[in-house]
Structure 1
Amino acid sequence: MPQPLSKDNAQLPSAALPPAMAEIHSKSVDELLKEMNRLPLFMTTLDDTDGEGGENPGLEAMKALAYEGSRVEVAENFRQQGNECARAKQWQDAKEFYDKAIDSLKAPQKRKEDEPEAVEYEVDEETDAKKEKVIEEAAYVNRALCHLEKKNYRSCIQDCASTLRLNPSNVKAFYRSSTACLALDKLPEATDACTRGLALDSANASLKLLSSKITARQTYLDSVAKVRREREEKAASEKSTLNLALRSRGIQTQSTEKAPDLEDAAVKLSDSLDPSSTLSFPAILLYPIHSQSDFVKAFSEKEKIAQHLEYIFPLPWDLSNEYTVDGVDAYMETTVRGLIKVGKKMSLGKILGSGKVEVVDGLVKINIVPKEKAAGWIEEFKKRNVK
């Protein structure tokens, strides 16, 4: 009789392990879990090796089972697995199963190695062909759903087209294709697919809702296009009016490839659509002898240089007090790259309309030089500009 176990037993008796399990006794828990993870039924991560870089026979056997049976059976098996993943919203896995279903239908039927070359049984090819077409249609339209959920809209449209080649009356294909086209703002195509779907099923709630979304999107895009068109038309009209205002005043302009960034400063009319309204120009007052400058964002054609100098002077860096309204002269470059002295009490409009100077890249440049140093500066200017 076996002795009953008691708390006082120093060591509990244990039965010997079967020979096939003897190796387990010496392994740690982590080693056992790693070993189990290579068994298909216990896998938590995919490991298609034997742990040493070779094939995993168990997994390869499981893979081979997926292709057992006729082409119809194999494809239907993959389709059903795809459906299960789709119901769980596992879109990538579902897509891969639908890929396999489609591929298996396109692959030639393979004969088993142990199957004789001639097997005497009847095959209803017409019935199998119909089944294959049904499975292929379902795989394509369901794969289109996977693409739609993953925002692969162009692939969704392609799969819907493949579906409709198999069955021109597949409403789901029209719905999913229309949804993908809407996401891509291909509204004519979205409208066409939705209309065709409703022609097949006029009571389809999803298609009706989709139709209203397409209409709303088209209305929005039309309004955006109208605003953009009106803005472009206004800008063109304003540009034309500005050019007319400049020509009528005899003001010459020129553009170069290296125009400065003036941000929002620009040549403007006080009324952008009235060429007779007051013109203003961005202007830079240069102090070339001291390599300094001041920027005037809007210099009216009616204003004089002296008016701006009055509030700009005294200059913070002019320690010698050389720059006073009466103690400086103003110079501008001519159209032939010479210099012309301009009156400080002459309006900017008259200076620019003289035909001797021009506005380059929308910016008026005026050099301010102390009278006592003007002659020397002019000589230096001429030397730098000798061709």
Structure 2
Amino acid sequence: MAETEGDPEADLDAFLDKFRGPERYEGALSPENWEKEFEKIPMFMKTAPSEIDPKQNPDLACLQSIIFDEEQTLEEQAKSYKNEGNDYFKEKDYKKAVISYTEGLNKKSSDQELNAVLHTNRAAAQFYLGNCRSALDDAIAARKLRPSHLKAIIRGAVCHLELKHFSEAITWCEEGLRIDPKEKKLLETRAKADRLKHTKERDLRKARLQEKKEQAQKDAVFRAIKERNIKLLPVSSEDENVISASLAEMSLDGFSSQSATGSKVCLDENGSLSWPVLFLYPEHGQSDLVSAFHEESRFIDHLMVMFEELPPWDTERKYYPSELELYYEDEEREEIYQICTQSTLLQALQHQRYFVKAGTPIFLVLVKCAPFSKNYFRGKKVHWLK
């Protein structure tokens, strides 16, 4: 009998034939990847997408609308967000947990117990994200709603500890232990905070004693300088207190030499001063630093050591100690003074027109009768320092 159009039996046979052959029905799960495809079905998802687009995931958006139905009471909606946040927290997805707890708080439920829990749970998530300040704010908010909320007290105590608020951490622990004297986390936190507090106080005492000692040394150096009639020129002030304070630095402002960092004038046990002294070589744009030039040492002694071997930048081989001359500039008068290389550092510093700027004596080194030296002094008044 010929197949007639609209025959129910024929339609059924045609439908069943699809399952007998290789052709699969539309939307079927593949035999190879059926487990992964199964997890894409909203009802069986293990984790939800971070953002749900109703157009791309209409089924999932529908489920979400059911979970957070606007017809639910604010308390029910807030509780749903709390449960969602707890699930994210268990998965260690703390950012999403914070978002869920925040949404729950935004419902402004009248259930203060629930709001306290939302704040406490958000504090825990914030803590694991490293946001201790935000976590502490939540713990404080939770306690305002429920002062005896032990979990909020524990969160707050731990946050204070991480923020190095040791006294506050101890106070929170004491308040919590009045509620539960055997709470292990509070006992551990209080012991650690107490130990760190004593360590901090001890270190602070040491720092203050060291600061006092260093100040006494600075004062002694300043007195020794005044006794020698050495004149200091501060960078920006003529006040003696500023000058005294500037002795703490004594670094070489304007020079990038790493070895000069931290150099300063020192007073030894015999009452003698040693200075950081900078030698400049204008002809070559070079410099040398003697970090501890004893005031009674002669310039020639240091030059002999410095130029025992000629430096690589002296391509003309002319920087022999016996051929070198020393000068310093009087910036105020725009004059130059020549110093005898046989004189001591103290003799140079005590000259009436020598001013130590920024704690570092500076001297120019030039070669006798060299063309550069003649041009350098042209138009300048040069004095011989006896």
TM range (shorter): 0.7 to 0.9
- 1:128-173 deviations in whole A, cap 9, x for unaligned? x6xx333222222222222222222222222222222222111221
Structure 2: stretches of 5+ with no match in the other structure: 1-13, 237-252
Q: Give runs of aligned pairs for residues 360-371 of structure 1, distance below 5 A.
A: 360-371=357-368
Q: Specify the code of the residue in structure 2 equivalent to 1:48.
A: I
Say whether residues 1:214 and 2:193 are aligned partners: yes
Tell whether the 8 Å contact from 1:260 to 1:361 is kept in structure 2 after alignment: no
Say whether residues 1:300 and 2:288 are aligned partners: no
Tell whether the 8 Å contact from 1:24 to 1:32 is kept in structure 2 after alignment: no
Tell whether the 8 Å contact from 1:289 to 1:377 is kept in structure 2 after alignment: no
Give the aligned partner of residue 340 of structure 2.
343
Give the aligned partner of residue 52 of structure 2.
48
Offset at residue 249 of structure 1 (A): 0.5
Offset at residue 211 of structure 1 (A): 0.8
Question: SS in structure 1 opposite 2:26?
Answer: helix
Give the aligned partner of residue 98 of structure 1.
101
Give the aligned partner of residue 282 of structure 1.
276
Q: 2:304 aligns with which of 310, 314, 336?
A: 310
Q: Specify the code of the residue in structure 2 equivalent to 1:333.
A: E
Q: Specify the code of the residue in structure 1 equivalent to 2:156.
A: S
Number of matched pairs: 338
Query: 1:320, 1:101 → 2: CA distance?
Result: 82
Give the aligned partner of residue 352 of structure 1.
349
Determine what percentage of the aligned residue pairs are the same residue: 24
Q: 2:268 aligns with which of 267, 270, 279?
A: 270
Query: 1:211, 1:243 → 2: CA distance?
Result: 47
Q: Specify the code of the residue in structure 2 equivalent to 1:210.
A: T
Q: Give runs of aligned pairs for residues 171-210 of structure 1, distance below 5 A.
A: 171-210=150-189
Query: 2:284, 2:74 → 1: CA distance?
Result: 89
Offset at residue 307 of structure 1 (A): 1.8
Cα 1:211–1:14 change in 2 (3 A) is same
Give the aligned partner of residue 330 of structure 1.
326
Query: TM-score scaled to structure 2, two decimals?
Result: 0.73
Give the aligned partner of residue 62 of structure 1.
63
Cα 1:57–1:243 change in 2 (3 A) is same
Offset at residue 212 of structure 1 (A): 0.8
Cα 1:381–1:192 change in 2 (3 A) is farther
Tell whether the 8 Å contact from 2:235 to 2:357 is kept in structure 1 after alignment: yes
Cα 1:80–1:378 change in 2 (3 A) is closer
Offset at residue 81 of structure 1 (A): 4.1
| Range with bigger deviation, 369-378 or 179-188 | 369-378
Query: 2:141, 2:315 → 1: CA distance?
Result: 83
Cα 1:297–1:57 change in 2 (3 A) is closer
Offset at residue 236 of structure 1 (A): 1.9
Question: SS in structure 2 opposite 1:185?
Answer: coil
Give the aligned partner of residue 240 of structure 2.
none
Cα 1:168–1:358 change in 2 (3 A) is same
Offset at residue 188 of structure 1 (A): 3.4
Query: 1:86, 1:24 → 2: CA distance?
Result: 35
Query: 2:214, 2:360 → 1: CA distance?
Result: 20
Tell whether the 8 Å contact from 2:167 to 2:193 is kept in structure 1 after alignment: no
Offset at residue 180 of structure 1 (A): 0.8
Tell whether the 8 Å contact from 1:37 to 1:45 is kept in structure 2 after alignment: no
Query: 1:309, 1:30 → 2: CA distance?
Result: 86
RMSD: 3.7
Cα 1:358–1:30 change in 2 (3 A) is farther
Tell whether the 8 Å contact from 1:314 to 1:321 is kept in structure 2 after alignment: no
Q: Specify the code of the residue in structure 1 equivalent to 2:360.
A: L
Cα 1:216–1:340 change in 2 (3 A) is same
- 1:341-365 deviations in whole A, cap 9, x for unaligned? 2222222112211222122233323
Say whether residues 1:260 and 2:239 are aligned partners: no
Say whether residues 1:138 and 2:117 are aligned partners: yes
Q: Specify the code of the residue in structure 2 equivalent to 1:338.
A: E
Tell whether the 8 Å contact from 1:85 to 1:91 is kept in structure 2 after alignment: yes
- 1:200-239 deviations in whole A, cap 9, x for unaligned? 2223222111111111121222123223222322222222
Q: Specify the code of the residue in structure 2 equivalent to 1:282.
A: P
Give the aligned partner of residue 11 of structure 2.
none
Give the aligned partner of residue 380 of structure 1.
378
Q: 1:75 aligns with which of 75, 78, 81?
A: 78
Query: 1:324, 1:88 → 2: CA distance?
Result: 76
Offset at residue 333 of structure 1 (A): 2.2
Query: 1:255, 1:133 → 2: CA distance?
Result: 64
Query: 1:290, 1:155 → 2: CA distance?
Result: 58
Query: 1:154, 1:320 → 2: CA distance?
Result: 66
Cα 1:61–1:309 change in 2 (3 A) is closer
